[in-house]
């Protein structure tokens, strides 16, 4: 059954109760929740009691986006550790998936570089996500990966290759058609979308 949600940070940046009430008032059935962008005060990962009491909107996806091929090791490690923290709390706050993208060698911002599309860069992703999938399995939750033309998983075929490599029940997919488009292929958007849903099938959750 298809449900319509909204990115929390597109609605308002506020405390959990105000944010939840506003989303519910607008009639959305759930939220993509990126706590760093949506909350006016950081989420207390060590004590979620008040958050669970105040936030009464289903969390369709918990966003912990980071650049898994960031050339700066300190930035990369920070992103990995933050993602793991989100994996560990996902079940407690009712989030079925923790999401990220596949990143860019540019670092910040995550812009296009030809090197992003090479097999060598694709292979850089694998040990990162092998480690993250272990944490996901330990915490009985799932990683949801999103492809984008500018990034390493740049088209539906590349996303499928990534998914097939792990063959894991703890890895699913976000398809945002807009992210796969560029100046040369945007007129083929219908074909690209059809390719995505044909190749990725029931792995698509968002």
Q: Is the pLDDT of residue 18 over 90?
A: yes
- For residue 150, tell me if it sits in a domain: yes
Long-range contacts of 188-197 (CB under 8 A, 24+ apart): 192/155, 192/156, 195/155, 195/156, 195/157, 196/156, 196/159
Which residue in this structure is represented by tokens 């480690």? 131
CATH number of the CATH domain containing 134: 3.20.20.150
pLDDT of residue 1: 78
pLDDT of residue 201: 96
Select from 102, 98, 114, 113 the least CA-distant residue to 69.
102
Cβ–Cβ < 8 Å for 143, 98: yes
Q: What is the domain extent for residue 122?
A: 58-203
pLDDT of residue 51: 96
pLDDT of residue 116: 99
- For residue 104, tell me if it sits in a domain: yes
- For residue 71, tell me if it sits in a domain: yes
Number of structural domains found in the chain: 1
Confidence at 3, pLDDT banded by 50, 70, 90: very high
- For residue 6, tell me if it sits in a domain: no
**pLDDT digit string, tens, across residues 168-204:** 999 999 999 999 999 999 999 999 999 999 999 999 9
- For residue 30, tell me if it sits in a domain: no
- For residue 40, tell me if it sits in a domain: no
* Percent of all residues in the chain with a pLDDT value above 70, rounded to a whole number: 100
- For residue 134, tell me if it sits in a domain: yes
pLDDT of residue 200: 98
Q: Is the pLDDT of residue 100 over 90?
A: yes
Q: Is the pLDDT of residue 160 over 90?
A: yes
Long-range contacts of 135-138 (CB under 8 A, 24+ apart): 135/84, 135/87, 135/88, 136/87, 136/98, 136/170, 136/171, 137/168, 137/170
Confidence at 2, pLDDT banded by 50, 70, 90: confident
- For residue 28, tell me if it sits in a domain: no
pLDDT of residue 84: 99
How large is the average pLDDT for residues 93-114? 97
């Amino acid at each position: 059954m298809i449900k319509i949600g909204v990115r929390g940070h597109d609605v308002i940046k506020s405390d959990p109760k105000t944010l939840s009430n506003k989303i519910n008032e607008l009639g959305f059935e759930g939220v993509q929740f990126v706590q760093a962008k949506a909350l006016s005060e950081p989420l207390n990962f060590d004590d979620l009691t008040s958050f669970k009491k105040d936030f009464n909107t289903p969390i369709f996806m918990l966003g912990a986006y980071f650049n898994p091929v960031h050339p700066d090791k300190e930035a990369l490690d920070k992103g990995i550790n933050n993602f793991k923290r989100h994996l560990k709390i996902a079940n407690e706050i009712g989030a079925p998936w923790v999401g990220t993208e596949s990143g860019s060698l540019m670092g910040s911002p995550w812009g296009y570089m030809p090197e992003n599309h090479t097999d060598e860069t694709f292979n850089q992703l694998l040990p990162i996500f092998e480690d993250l999938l272990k944490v996901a399995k330990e915490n009985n939750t799932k990683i949801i990966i999103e492809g984008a033309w500018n990034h390493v998983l740049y088209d539906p075929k590349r996303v499928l290759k990534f998914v097939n490599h792990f063959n894991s029940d703890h890895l699913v997919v976000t398809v945002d058609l807009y992210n796969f488009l560029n100046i040369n292929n945007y007129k083929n958007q219908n074909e690209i979308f059809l390719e995505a849903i044909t190749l990725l099938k029931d792995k698509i959750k968002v």
